[in-house]
Amino acid sequence: MSELTSRAEKLDAVDQLAAKRGEFVLDDVVYLDGNSLGALPAAVPGRVEDVVRRQWGELRIRSWDESGWWTAPERIGDRIAPLVGAAAGQIVVGDSTSVNVFKALVAAVRMAGEGRDEVLVDATTFPTDGYIAESAARLTGRTLRPVTPAEVPSALNDRTAAVLLNHVDYRTGRLHDLPALTSAIRGAGAVSVWDLCHSAGALPVGLDEHGVDLAVGCTYKYLNGGPGSPAYLYVRHGLQDRFDSPLPGWNSHAEPFGMRASYEPGSGALRGRVGTPDILSMLALEAALEVWDGVSVEAVRAKSLALTDFFLECVAEYVPEGRVESLTPLAHAERGSQIALRCDDAGDVMRRLIARGVVGDFRAPDVLRFGFTPLYVGFTDVERAARVLAEVLG
């Protein structure tokens, strides 16, 4: 037994989150792709069966009231709120991340007012965010200006209406400085919009603490909500009465069953609702979120950093020198919960890793991504992954 293998077993023995692993459906693979799709929480299949067979099959239309379907978007939003550092009443669940980015960005420009004709967008963003930002800018008659997060403070001026940024870079796993950037955006009189897809459920976000205006995120990564599970929209309390959604729907109307010809927005975060909620996937998400009972995000962050530190140590020990290059910052303050390694033949390497039971993913042209979900990934998993990687690369 190697020294690293022995250390991994000792670390697993004292892991305070180790018991959570039993709340997921896992097999013998080392699953390091939770930054793309989280593992299945064991409680979800039974809950979905109840929703389908009893709530839909027996109660039918009565379930909108008796099973709480109508209030699910806000109720589940309140369940997500502590995971991103938000008080209740500020998050509504529904639609996709892309749709919520559109709602948030157009509403941000409208709140910024006349005279602010420029929108800043993260130049390294996930492509869809960039596509949506370009469309929103055209729709609102604003100019779109791509900048890196590091360039945002110097790019801000009295023309800036809104700024759309990613908390964690999806390629490299770099964590951007949300508190400092939000403060700079607020100081310039602009509206901040943060994409939390790669940070929610992996590290503290502090939306309320840091004065974030608007935020969006998906739920199928570190929140384990399932493929295509609904996204969420955060609207800070102080902005809710000014939030002017570009997609007003009957579900966000002040009197949704009044069937009025004219639109009057409801109050609170439900202004972010549009049409009929996707109940099956939404209630699957609600069941998935139960794995967070008794878990602090701070404990998750501590284990995440320990896992990624240990993985980098194992890679340095096992993998031939010069065979891979880490794109993820070493500094904890700049690291999310994934490690990205550059490798010339990354696509083939990942296929071979998956065939040997180590599941990560590949991003063209040359990036191996490994996501570390502390609720179900252990230190022996990490050591095994690095050892198999070395064998594949050797």
CA distance 39 to 90: 27
Q: Which of 126, 311, 318, 370 is catalytic?
A: 126
Q: Which two tokens stand for residue 15?
A: 């892991």
Whether 220 is a known active-site residue: answer: yes
Cβ neighbours of residue 321 closer than 8 Å, sequence gap 6 or more: none
Q: Reduced to 3 states, what is the DSSP secondary structure of residue 53?
A: helix
Do 9 and 118 lie in a common domain?
no
Is 65 found in the same domain as 181?
A: yes
Last residue of a domain, one of 292, 307, 340: 292
User: Is the residue at 41 inside a domain?
Assistant: no
- Is the residue at 31 inside a domain? no
Q: Please state the φ and ψ torsions of residue 178, each to the nearest 5 degrees.
A: -60, -45
126 catalytic? Reply is yes
Residue 93 tokens read as 């669940």
Catalytic residue among 195, 213, 278, 361: 195
Whether residue 136 contacts residue 102, with contact meaning beta carbons closer than 8 Å, is answered with yes
> How many Å is the Cα radius of gyration of the chain?
22
Q: What is the pLDDT of residues 210-250, one digit of tens each?
A: 999 999 999 999 999 999 999 999 999 999 999 999 999 99
Q: Is residue 34 part of a domain?
A: no
User: Is residue 226 a part of any domain in this protein?
Assistant: yes
Which residue type is seen at 255? E
CA atoms 10, 15, 20, 25: torsion sign: negative
Assess if residue 26 is contained within a domain.
no
Are residue 360 and residue 266 in the same domain, yes or no?
A: no
Last-in-domain residue among 246, 268, 292? 292
Phi (first) and psi of residue 161, to 5 degrees: -90, -50
Do residues 304 and 207 both lie within one domain?
A: no
Active site residue 369: yes
Q: Which of 47, 369, 384, 387 is catalytic?
A: 369
Of the residues 269, 292, 315, which one is the last residue of a structural domain? Answer: 292
Domain CATH for 67: 3.40.640.10
Same domain for 374 and 340, yes or no, is yes
Catalytic status, residue 138 = no
How do residues 65-102 score in pLDDT, each as one tens digit? 999 999 999 999 999 999 999 999 999 999 999 999 99
Q: Is the dihedral of CA 364, 367, 371, 377 positive or negative?
A: positive
The count of domains in the chain is 2
Q: Which of 170, 220, 232, 379 is catalytic?
A: 220
Tokens of 134: 């370009």
Residues 324 and 348 occupy one common structural domain: yes
pLDDT in tens, 301-359: 999 999 999 999 999 999 999 999 999 999 999 999 999 999 999 999 999 999 999 99
Q: Do 171 and 183 belong to one domain?
A: yes
Residue range of the domain that includes 10: 3-17+295-393
The one catalytic residue in 221, 271, 273, 335 is: 221
Q: Whole-angstrom distance between the N-terminal and C-terminal Cα of the chain?
A: 20
Cα separation, 132 vs 96, in Å, equals 12
Residue 29 in any domain: the answer is no
pLDDT digits (tens, 9 = 90+) for 106-162: 999 999 988 999 999 999 999 999 999 999 999 999 999 999 999 999 999 999 999
Strand partners, 163: 120, 192
Let me know if 221 is a catalytic residue.
yes
State residue 202's pLDDT score: 98
pTM of the model: 0.97
Could you tell me the CATH number of the domain that includes residue 345? 3.90.1150.10
Residue 195 within a domain: yes
Residue 1 pLDDT > 80: no
Same domain, 93 and 195: yes
Are 351 and 229 within one domain? Answer: no
